[in-house]
Amino acid sequence: MSETDFTAFEHKEPGDRTVMHVLYGMHTFAPFTYWTLAVVAMVVNYIRRADELDAVYAAHHNYMIATFWWSLLWLVVTAPLYLLLFLPGFIAHCLVGLWYLYRCIRGWLRFTDGRPPR
């Protein structure tokens, strides 16, 4: 049985780390830009994830992608609450936004420590 060569996974260039920090920053500030930064970051996440060999970096790309899609799902599901009155929908969307920010900040901090997102 062949052994895995873990030295191939350890070599990351400083640019790769910078790209991850920029992506986390874009996702974190996305709610304040009407989610346009999140859409741009998602495109980069999908492109970079396809070529990623490092398991920790790939896990962080997957984490950001999952956070975006789950947030979008809950924003769509809670949108009909605006039909009842404005307040329930507003509260639901604020909670989804806070959850999104929590996930982005938590993932960013774990990436800074060199740990996987979960």
Q: Which residue range is the domain that position 36 belongs to?
A: 13-112
Whether 102 is in a domain gets the answer yes
Residues 6+ apart with CB under 8 A from 71: 96, 97, 99, 100
Distance CA 111, CA 18 (A): 11
Whether 22 is in a domain gets the answer yes
The number of folded domains in the chain is 1
pLDDT above 90 covers a percentage of the chain that reads 82
Global pTM reads: 0.87
Instruction: List pLDDT tens digits, range 49-96.
Output: 999 999 999 999 999 999 999 999 999 999 999 998 889 999 999 999
Distance CA 31, CA 28 (A): 7
